[in-house]
Structure 1
Amino acid sequence: MTIYNWCAEFKRDRVNLSDEFRDGRLSTAVNYKSIHAMRRMIETDRHVAYHDIRASLGIGVRQIQSILHKYLGMKNLCSWWIPYNLTKAQKTDRVTLCNPMLNRFKDGVLNLVWDIVTGDETWIYCYNPKIKQQSTVWVHQNEPKPTKVAHKRSTSKRIIFNETRHAATFALES
């Protein structure tokens, strides 16, 4: 409503700002059958998109949003990217190995940090990353935000050795 229309409504002594009852057909798309069907779709595939739900159930986007947010309490979130998906044992091993090294180099007493040598090889992984829309997932409002590993290493892993200006590529299996 525009300001002009609101002024006219207040002049006729209207004090309630909520919508008045309107005649017409009630929405029939939001019912137990469509709510139950949408719940099953999301339980089957948490990455289901609006257009898939619309094509399957034949209801509008407004009704889909109403069912998802009001009745099912769902929201669509993008996953957090984390660099590695380490197990509890791997995390413990890293802490166990790093603590003595940190103690040795504490306060810059020893300059042995320059003695750490890394390998003379380069690993090149082939990635097939998902776009942001593909990584969205439906979650309930009280669920934590989902996470996913930043890059999955594919089976077409390569290692390149550079010896005397000659590079060779070898296909490795995972």
Structure 2
Amino acid sequence: MNTESFRFYIKVRTALNIEARTIHDVLHTVFGDEAPSYRTVARWAQWFREGREEIEDEERSGRPVTETTLDNIEEIRSIVNDDPHVTIAELQEHTGLSYGTVHRILSDHLELRKITARYIPKQLTDYQRNERVRICKENLSRFTEGGWRLSDVITGDESWFFHQQTGRKVSNAAWVAKDDPPPTIIRRNKPSSGTHAIKLHHDNGRAHVHQDVLDYLRSEGITIIEKNQLATKDEIEHKQKEIEEICSPIITKLYSSENNSMPNGEHVSHSNGKGPTIEEVD
């Protein structure tokens, strides 16, 4: 029994002054769950008592469901592929379709869902990604074998490992397929320092880039990462000479005024008159 047949029965029984509750009970007894609900029966009974004759639905305002065509589906697919962050309102404006039609095409036909993006600290090159994967696999292997320690990680300058749960931003939500991962967004602003970070510092000197130190670290089985950022021995020695030429006169004058006394109270004599070297001051 279709919908119009149920309505015709309600119309006839209402004309006989039978209450809506009785009409619903009879329909439910005969047709079970296929019968209309009591609220539907009561609503149509009220309309028939008020003089309605038609049992068909009145024409509704708005666009018909037939707007869900293959052309419209492909048009929305093309727009989303060009800009995954596009909103339903923007799709409405561009296509002229209703909100419900756009939403139905996105969810039912294209099987897309809109989720917010993940934040990453910076964009990496393919080489940097491969190096990080290689180092992580190596550390994982050493950890599994019981030979990995956090103290083995030494940075080449003031560096820090940062961990923070970045809040989600609705403005960065994007349409993605059902099984696709969420998109990523590069975090442009530098996070403020505080208790949310694990920081590893050294003395801001040349200790961790000096060739002697590097040789010692390698002899202890410590892996040096980011090798492409390390200076060569010749570069270090050249820079050291430049610093000594600038600092030696200042250091000589400083310790001469102190009666050639070092900060720890020991007396230092310089027979050549050139004053202490950079290594002695360090």
- TM, length-normalised to structure 2: 0.37
**Offset from partner CA, 1:94-153 (integer Å, 9 cap, x none):** 453687697265xxxxxx94x988788589xxxxx9972232111122x32224155146
Structure with bigger RCO (C-alpha 8 Å, 6+ apart):
1
Other-structure match for 2:74: 36
Higher normalized helix content (fraction of residues): 2
Give, in whole Å, the separation in 1 of the partners of 2:130 and 2:147: 23
AA in 1 matched with 2:129: T
Q: Residues 79 and 135 of structure 1 are in contact (CA less than 8 Å); yes or no, is this contact kept in structure 2?
A: yes
Q: State which of 100, 116, 119 in structure 2 corresponds to 1:62.
A: 100
1:145 aligns with: 181
- Secondary structure in 2 aligned to 1:39? helix
The equivalent of 1:109 in structure 2 is none
Partner of 1:159: none
1:35–1:67 CA contact under 8 A, matched in 2: yes
The answer to whether residue 43 in structure 2 is matched with residue 24 in structure 1 is no
Q: Please tell me the root mean square deviation across aligned C-alpha atoms, in Å.
A: 4.2
Question: Which amino acid in the other structure matches residue 170 of structure 2?
Answer: Q
The aligned residue for residue 3 of structure 1 is none
**Other-structure match for 1:90:** 132
Moved more, 84-93 or 70-79: 84-93
Alignment: residue pair count: 138
Structure 1 counterpart SS, 2:27: coil
| Cα distance in structure 1, aligned partners of 2:71 and 2:184 | 33
Alpha-carbon distance in structure 2 between the residues aligned to 1:17 and 1:150:
56
Name the larger-Rg structure.
Answer: 2
Q: TM-score, normalised by structure 1?
A: 0.55
Identity %: 18
Name 1:135's counterpart in structure 2.
172
**Would the aligned equivalents of 1:82 and 1:147 in 2 still touch at CA under 8 Å?**
no
In terms of fraction of residues, the more strand-rich structure is 1
1:119-134 alignment, distance < 5 Å: 132-134=169-171
Structure 1 Cα separation of the partners of residues 118 and 86 of structure 2:
18
Give the direction of change, closer, same or farther, for the CA distance of 1:117–1:93 in structure 2 (3 Å limit).
closer
Cα distance change of structure 1 residues 64 and 149 upon mapping to structure 2, 3 Å threshold:
closer
Matched position secondary structure for 1:103: coil
Q: Which amino acid aligns with 2:27?
A: D
Partner Cα separation in structure 2 for residue 9 and residue 36 of structure 1: 47
Q: Which residue of 1 aligns with 2:147?
A: 103
CA contact (8 A) 1:30 1:63 kept: yes
Change beyond 3 A, Cα 1:122–1:63: same
